């Protein structure tokens, strides 16, 4: 209902007065324009939108980030009543603490929050570990649940996923997924 013709028709229906005079239509257009300007100056930034991309992170599992452990499972060592978790090998994706601090880690079906990432091999939990002491625990999962929005974002209008990058050159990456028969993902 953002086009002028639809707005003009709606006003004429509500007022039950719809002459087809160009002078009346010009005055009506001027009133609509004044109303838009008034709204724009009152709430200037609520009407502006910006498109941006968001970097998503998958969960860290014991068998996914294994480059530093020669392809094996990364086990965690944790003592009951302590907050520090140490991994057998450094986890590459923990190199940026801003991404993972404040995210949940599940250890033996109990969820804790990562308070501090000391290095790729050591993290500090928000509360003491309540399970049994273990030096080779492979039942853990670091989850990426919370994402920070840009500081100038008031409202998230849309979040979608598209096949990116879209390449349409012959002989290059297929834009239809892993198989030609599969249609591209819908947003």
**pLDDT attached to residue 182:** 52
| Residue 59 or residue 157, greater confidence | 59
- Asked if 112 contacts 126 with a C-beta cutoff of 8 angstroms, the reply is yes
> Please, is 33 exposed, middle or buried when counting C-beta atoms within 10 Å of its C-beta (0-12, 13-18, 19+)?
exposed
pLDDT band, residue 84 (cuts 50/70/90): very high
Measured distance CA(106)–CA(108) in Å, rounded: 7
Query: What predicted TM-score, i.e. pTM, was given to this entire model?
Result: 0.60
Classified by CATH at the fold level, domain 67-142 comes out as: Elongation Factor Tu (Ef-tu); domain 3 (2.40.30)
Measured distance CA(176)–CA(184) in Å, rounded: 5
Return the ∠ at Cα 90 (arms to 88 and 95), rounded to 5°. 150
Q: What is the pLDDT of residues 49-81, one digit of tens each?
A: 777 888 888 899 998 876 666 667 889 999 999
pLDDT band, residue 37 (cuts 50/70/90): confident
**pLDDT attached to residue 129:** 93
Q: What is the pLDDT of residues 109-121, one digit of tens each?
A: 899 999 999 998 9
Measured distance CA(88)–CA(140) in Å, rounded: 13
């Amino acid at each position: 209902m953002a086009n002028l013709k639809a707005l003009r028709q709606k006003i004429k229906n509500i007022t039950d007065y719809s002459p087809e005079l160009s002078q009346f239509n010009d005055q009506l257009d001027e009133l609509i324009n004044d109303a838009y300007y008034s709204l724009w100056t009152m709430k200037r930034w609520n009407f502006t939108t910006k498109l941006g991309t968001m970097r998503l992170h998958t969960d860290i599992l014991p068998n996914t980030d294994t480059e530093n452990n020669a392809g094996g499972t990364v086990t965690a060592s944790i003592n009951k009543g302590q907050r520090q978790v140490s991994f057998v090998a450094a986890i590459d994706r923990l190199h940026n603490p801003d991404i993972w601090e404040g995210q949940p880690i599940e250890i033996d079906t109990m969820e804790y929050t990562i308070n501090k990432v000391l290095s790729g091999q050591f993290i500090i939990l928000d509360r003491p570990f309540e399970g049994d002491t273990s030096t080779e625990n492979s039942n853990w999962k670091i989850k990426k649940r919370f994402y920070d929005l840009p500081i100038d974002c008031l409202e998230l209008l849309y979040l979608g996923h598209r096949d990116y990058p879209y390449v349409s050159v012959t002989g290059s990456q297929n834009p239809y997924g892993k198989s030609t028969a599969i249609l591209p993902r819908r947003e």
